[in-house]
Structure 1
Amino acid sequence: MSEHIKEQPAAENPEELLDLKLTKPKTWAAGIPAVTVAMVDILQESGFVRGMEGLFKMNKKDGFDCSGCAWPDPDDDRSPIAEYCENGAKALAEEATTKKLTAEFFAQNSVFDLAKLNDYEIGKKGRIAQPVYLPKGASHYQPISWDEAFKKIADKLNSLASPNEAAFYTSGRTSNEASFTYQLFIREYGTNNMPDCSNMCHESTSLGLAEAIGIGKGTVTLNDFYDTDVIIIMGQNPGTNHPRMLSALEKAKKHGSKIIAVNPLHEAGLMGFKNPQTVKGVLGITTQLADLYLQVKINGDMALLKAIEKLLYKAELESPGTVFDHEFIKNNTEGYVAFLNHLNEYDINHLANEAGVPLAQIEQAADILKDKTRIIICWAMGVTQHKNGVATVKEIVNLAMLKGTIGKPGAGLCPVRGHSNVQGNRTMMIFDKPKPKQLDKLKEVFGFEPPRQHGYDVVESIQAMHEGKLKVFFAMGGNFLSATPDTTYTADAMRKLEMSVHVSTKLNRSHLVHGDEALILPTLSRSDKDMVNGEAQFISCENSMGVVQMSKGMLEPISKDLLSENQIVCRLAKATLGKRSVIDWDKYAKSYDAVRDDIAKVIPGFDDYNQKVRVPAGFYLPNGPREGKFENIKFGNKVDFNIAGLPLHESKTGEFRMTTIRSHDQFNTTIYGLNDRYRGVHNERRVIFMNEKDIAKAGFKQGEHVDLYNNFGGVERVARLFVVVPYNVPEGNTATYYPEANVLIPIDSVAEGSNTPTSKLVFISIKKHGVK
């Protein structure tokens, strides 16, 4: 064993800077540069023939679903040129790469040495080509057969004192079929410890909407965007995180819609769009998107919403019956008068100050909305990853109810999910808090008694690892360490495990910070052919708007030693449960149709699943609120106006609000490159965006090297060696990229109710690098 293995592998990106170059931030997104950059990635990673073969089938009705975001595909005709965006092409380049990691690679590269690389370098090594195993105390992963790998995991799981000593994570890439068999195995094994990526992103949405309107999903379809009056986009950056949304926004503008953008940073994808699939876009002509840009303070959204509501109420009093939808309010809501009384308690100037937006601009927003009846409100992590995330989601519902903009064409609620099947995972019962009737259905269909005790979510799992309550951690996709908060704390927790297992396509940092034993199980990607007994299989996914459609890979896998996620689950279940299982896992492994047949028996809305999913463009799942039907626990068929106060922001003198963001060259924790061209940052990620006035007041200058500190709960957390970059962000507010700044996000700073880490608001102090 190497001497240096006694030192723990790095849990974070190395504290070293590259060669930062700054250019002027863009005021528009996409255009020819997006096409050029995407093609360069494809050519470098997969080559022209393989890459173009994949691109022409991505998001097509007879092709495969992009492994990136969950923005829906058009129901009708899809682009014959490119039904994908720049980042979708980059996602394909990542999985269609011809680089592969064999036994020789792992023999030549120790875990310790690989951890010295940054996340970009680790991810660019290539696809994992065979299962590998890291024995206790070893320095290098070594090859292992599939049978041996399943036996090791099964033996460990069966040796635990309780099934609750294991946790099973799921990422949003996992298909409906694999998610269903995965939760079925986990529950037959005996636990509900099912942390998933929803816990870290839209859990506040799922809880807030479920409690308010009876379903934890949005209420709009893509076609609603083409026939609406106003679109409000809150805490979301579509140009980077959901680029195909820009086409829908462009179409909405063409049909006369107004767009109100709400974001602390001026983002190119909210200001303008050059559509590379149109002559206009190719010629460099920009479609203006935002008619009004409300630059809120970080977590100023609640105050802004209340200010808009208060102004609309004033307009309603001045012209009764013309601003609020009283028929909708009477027929579908409770608590209207109490809510208005609550609004009257606030001073409009105080609300504007808390929002950080000039009152005149908020009045503009109210003027746009007051005589409109078809309004779509979109939001993402900028709303949900706050202590008051659930309450803010409910406040969005309040505004929609005042205007009656739920359950009608061209109107509704649109949480924009960040990963392609993260919504489908939850539909397939990947959840640590299942409903009793869901468990009853499993018992009825399969004949075993599923566990009733709630399991651990993401934050609870990390804390349980730390406390020694979890011995085994199994991850179905994702990069758990880099995605989660409080990196040092999480790494310490993962090192206390007896075994960590990751089902992955590519190497990531979570493979390098591990339990006593560790395994990496390589799986097929979305674009890979999935052949079982000579027959091509397909999977299915659910997008942000509740459409379920098939996805069929068509590229030759990089290795013959890969298994699909569904086959991995089935073989692990068989190895672990043996004769005590009442489920025919061989049947599921041989035919995904068999899985879908049983999904249809368990999950509402999936009747005739195998028939409906084969229809081009798929099918919509039932959505009561979309049809104006509400099932609320408290009021039966009515929606309760939620009353919540403004969030309290307790900052100390000299502290700044910090939010974590993606660069344009990444998707979640996957780093495609080192450039964020929309914000004008090139060849560097360790940057902190600051208002120019704040930079001067603090005695810094552009390019200064600084360290970032958070002291939540009396624990000092430090992110060292960042570069100061001036940017159009409100005074007192800053922004950094994740995962580099995740070390600053406290494990115990979470959203009330949803337990989501507060990644979008951390209070920090900033000091010159190396100065205590």
Structure 2
Amino acid sequence: MSTKTEQQPSAENPEELNDLKLTKPYTWAAGIPGVTAAFKDIFEETGVLRGTGALFKMNQKGGFDCSSCAWPDPDDDRSPIAEYCENGAKALAEEATLKKLTPEFFAENSVIDLALLSDMDIGKKGRIAQPMYLPKGGTHYEPVTWDDAFKKIADKLNGLASPNEAAFYTSGRTSNEASFIYQLFVREYGTNNMPDCSNMCHESTSVGLAESIGIGKGTVTLNDFYNTDVIIIIGQNPGTNHPRMLTALQKGKENGAKIIAVNPLFEAGLMAFKNPQTAKGILGISTQLADVYLQVKINGDMALLKAIEKMLYDAELKEPGKVFDLDFIGGKTTGYTEFINKVKDFNVDELCVAAGVPVEVVQQAVDLIKNKSRIIICWAMGVTQHQNGVDTIKEIVNLTLLKGSIGKAGAGLCPVRGHSNVQGNRTMLIYDKPYEKQLDKLKEVFGFEPPREHGYDVVDTIKAMHNGKLKVFFAMGGNFLSATPDTGYTADAMRKLKLSVHVSTKLNRSHLVHGEEAIILPTLARSDKDVVNGEEQFVSCENSMGVVQMSKGILDPISKDLLNETQIVCELAKATLGSRSVINWDKYAASYDAVREEIGKVVPGFENYNQRVRLPGGFYLPNAPREGKFETDEFGEKAPFTITTLPHNTLADDEFMMTTIRSHDQFNTTIYGLQDRYRGVHNERRVIFMNEKDIVKAGFKAGDKVDLFNYFGGEERVARLFVIVHYNIPEGNTATYYPEANVLVPINSVAKKSNTPASKSVIIKIKKHTE
């Protein structure tokens, strides 16, 4: 763990408390309060005309994609009033703000002083208006020209002993075009060190699905939600993290679907929805969502899934051929006999105890699905960010295969992605472990030999920084420090760099915990007009369901000294590679159409890209499992059943299992405000949600100030000054907001195979706060 000193900017939010206010948690989501909150932020940051004009174009055909979550837009008609949610409006307010950071701001505010602010206060300072440079030993960022910034970066990159001493991170907001050009530069430079935000969220999904069904993506479309029988939502909180999903759930319910919710906390967005775009919603009338709510223990999902499978097996014995889809199993899968022989020996009572859900409640869920096959299973970080995350996803696939719930309308697998183009980044070859056929295609089209050695993902990048193997870190967007685990360890790692570079729209903590030298390159936001050589450009993104569509900003940029991400990469490539490059970077800097032409040659599914992306609503990428076809490396055209084991979630008497969560007033590491109104927590983020019995048993009371400790690997990690909040959460379980609790997430506690930080199952001890 790092030791803070007066000489180092703080890597964490201030250990200070605000005036905590608690209200009764909501039992429904959205409604008029959501509308009010959305417009409040928009008007404060952008003004009425600028903000409302942008809102009416966000997520519309021919408009721009929201920079928040990756939930898909309807294929057909879209709401003319609001094809966005509360958090989407808040994301727009953040990037469309009229506040900007000039050289005078940086001259008046030292790096250390800025680091004393909270993440929320740092982010609300405004848009960065020009390139900034922090020299070695400097205390304040200074303005720098674009040419000088590129030269400084190029000199550092060219001075490395090997290209593998540099790493190039990608955030999920980066467009398809910029992502493709970025990986092209990085690979011609000579490394596959391309960590990306997928490594921290859905990497377990990508690994688990690729091995099970042959593609690391979901298999459903948005229309499937409207015509299904059962929707299972496991380890996901749509009301806060993907609010537009609530409309799809409502439509499904109206058409007869049943919803099964699986979550350790009772979340408002899983219980009911007041749609503010309907008369009923405006009048405060709710649509009930969850028909059955399974309140599992943290990481009790695997035990729950196995219990459901055993109960379905018992029902199949009573009604042969009516519960399992035996034709699908026989024709499309492999390994069924071995798998079902394991299921026969499951003990439902023991599994339900491990899951934390009464047998009779699990039976209610089984009764909803046993005679249905049009079943959609959705999940997010509550599944992926555990050491057994990949296996849990494979168990979800097992259940889907038993029911034949894949490759048909109204059925399939639905990992719900977080950031708006995180799936598109991977499709555009942002990956530290590229496939040989992808590299061969790059060589064929562009004429250089790409590196073949696998690179570093996020966790390995942090470790490589820490041990001195990495000297330069370049981030295309994001807030790397606040998003990653083990904050103290990561901060120490970043301080060992020779140079840290961030392409950003706004200031964040990663600019303040830096290498010997640091550079900030300001770029356009999704809603900004992108004009190159007098011609307005547009980018494209891929949503959670494999739809690629155009995104064209409409707002005048806050500064004339901004470059788009593709231009930044092309200029850096020219400065770094010079005459040894075989690529015409000027061509791609001048036109996204030129970039898309090359993507169409390299990436399957993007043929005639420029023509198809201009179609209203875009186009779907190929998805074999959606058509009932499987192409796995090991099992050919059949999807395998997987034998998995239960995790051992054992705790000592003085230990608790902690999961990190978002408040309703944030998206990823961006903190919009301090109102987590769905959970009834206001004006404070340094809280720990605990079961009432645990509070009493541990000798505490609600409102007590405590410190949180983790001792993974024999090392003490501590998050100080949290307030206990009584909440409906299983005994032995606790929840805290990130990034405040990321300091407790061990760098070496990761999901097997995917290397995703296990942020959702952290063993902690709780002690009275000490000054």
TM-score by length of 2: 0.99
Matching residue of 1:305: 305
Matching residue of 2:296: 296
SS of residue matched to 2:349 = helix
Matching residue of 2:59: 59
**Which amino acid counterpart does residue 351 of structure 2 have in structure 1?**
L
| Mapped pair 1:276 → 2:276 | yes
Matching residue of 2:716: 716
Matching residue of 1:676: 676
Query: How many angstroms does 1:702 deviate by?
Result: 1.1
Deviations, residues 220-246 of structure 1 (Å, cap 9, x unaligned):
000000000000000000000000000
**Which amino acid counterpart does residue 719 of structure 1 have in structure 2?**
A
Matching residue of 1:518: 518
Structure 1 contact 298–733 (Cα < 8 Å) conserved: yes
Q: Provide the rounded CA distance (Å) in 2 between the counterparts of 1:454 and 1:6.
A: 39
Matching residue of 2:336: 336
Deviations, residues 623-652 of structure 1 (Å, cap 9, x unaligned):
000000100111110011000110112422
Structure 1 contact 5–112 (Cα < 8 Å) conserved: no
Deviations, residues 383-422 of structure 1 (Å, cap 9, x unaligned):
0000000000000000000000000000000000001000
Q: Provide the rounded CA distance (Å) in 2 between the counterparts of 1:57 and 1:346.
A: 53
Matching residue of 1:173: 173
Q: Provide the rounded CA distance (Å) in 2 between the counterparts of 1:242 and 1:574.
A: 39
Matching residue of 2:690: 690
Q: How many residues align?
A: 768
- Following TM superposition, the consecutive aligned residue runs of length 4 or more in structure 1 with deviations greater than 6 angstroms are none
Q: Provide the rounded CA distance (Å) in 1 between the counterparts of 2:737 and 2:748.
A: 21
Task: Please provide the CA RMSD for this pair.
Answer: 0.8
Deviations, residues 570-629 of structure 1 (Å, cap 9, x unaligned):
110111001100110000000000000000000000000000000000000000000001
Q: Provide the rounded CA distance (Å) in 2 between the counterparts of 1:485 and 1:675.
A: 24
Q: Provide the rounded CA distance (Å) in 1 between the counterparts of 2:585 and 2:737.
A: 42
Q: Provide the rounded CA distance (Å) in 2 between the counterparts of 1:715 and 1:342.
A: 38
Matching residue of 2:746: 746
Matching residue of 1:705: 705
| Mapped pair 1:528 → 2:522 | no
Structure 1 contact 267–678 (Cα < 8 Å) conserved: yes
Matching residue of 1:197: 197
Query: How many angstroms does 1:489 deviate by?
Result: 0.2
Q: Provide the rounded CA distance (Å) in 1 between the counterparts of 2:267 and 2:347.
A: 30
Alignment of 1:236-247 (within 5 A): 236-247=236-247
Alignment of 1:58-457 (within 5 A): 58-457=58-457
Query: How many angstroms does 1:344 deviate by?
Result: 2.1
| Mapped pair 1:593 → 2:570 | no
SS of residue matched to 2:678 = coil
**Which amino acid counterpart does residue 445 of structure 1 have in structure 2?**
V
Q: Provide the rounded CA distance (Å) in 1 between the counterparts of 2:319 and 2:684.
A: 54
Matching residue of 1:729: 729
Query: How many angstroms does 1:345 deviate by?
Result: 2.5
Q: Provide the rounded CA distance (Å) in 2 between the counterparts of 1:545 and 1:315.
A: 33
Query: How many angstroms does 1:439 deviate by?
Result: 0.2
Matching residue of 2:549: 549
| Mapped pair 1:18 → 2:39 | no
Matching residue of 1:578: 578
Query: How many angstroms does 1:5 deviate by?
Result: 9.4
SS of residue matched to 1:678 = helix
Deviations, residues 203-232 of structure 1 (Å, cap 9, x unaligned):
000000000000000000000000000000
Structure 1 contact 5–139 (Cα < 8 Å) conserved: no
Q: Provide the rounded CA distance (Å) in 1 between the counterparts of 2:14 and 2:36.
A: 30
SS of residue matched to 2:59 = coil
Q: Provide the rounded CA distance (Å) in 2 between the counterparts of 1:343 and 1:654.
A: 34
Q: What is the percentage of aligned positions where both structures have the same residue?
A: 77
**Which amino acid counterpart does residue 11 of structure 1 have in structure 2?**
A
Matching residue of 1:624: 624
SS of residue matched to 2:243 = coil
Deviations, residues 251-289 of structure 1 (Å, cap 9, x unaligned):
000000000000000000000000000000000000000
Structure 1 contact 265–729 (Cα < 8 Å) conserved: yes
Q: Provide the rounded CA distance (Å) in 1 between the counterparts of 2:37 and 2:84.
A: 14
Structure 1 contact 234–377 (Cα < 8 Å) conserved: yes
Query: How many angstroms does 1:373 deviate by?
Result: 1.3
**Which amino acid counterpart does residue 126 of structure 1 have in structure 2?**
G
SS of residue matched to 1:42 = helix
The answer for unaligned runs of 5 or more in structure 2 is none
Matching residue of 2:465: 465
Matching residue of 1:44: 44
Q: Provide the rounded CA distance (Å) in 1 between the counterparts of 2:136 and 2:577.
A: 25
Q: Provide the rounded CA distance (Å) in 1 between the counterparts of 2:647 and 2:245.
A: 30
Matching residue of 2:500: 500
Q: Provide the rounded CA distance (Å) in 1 between the counterparts of 2:633 and 2:577.
A: 37
Deviations, residues 87-117 of structure 1 (Å, cap 9, x unaligned):
0000000000000000000000000000000
Q: Provide the rounded CA distance (Å) in 2 between the counterparts of 1:128 and 1:543.
A: 28
Q: Provide the rounded CA distance (Å) in 1 between the counterparts of 2:373 and 2:181.
A: 43
Q: Provide the rounded CA distance (Å) in 2 between the counterparts of 1:520 and 1:754.
A: 30
Structure 1 contact 474–500 (Cα < 8 Å) conserved: yes
SS of residue matched to 1:331 = helix
TM-score by length of 1: 0.99
**Which amino acid counterpart does residue 759 of structure 1 have in structure 2?**
S
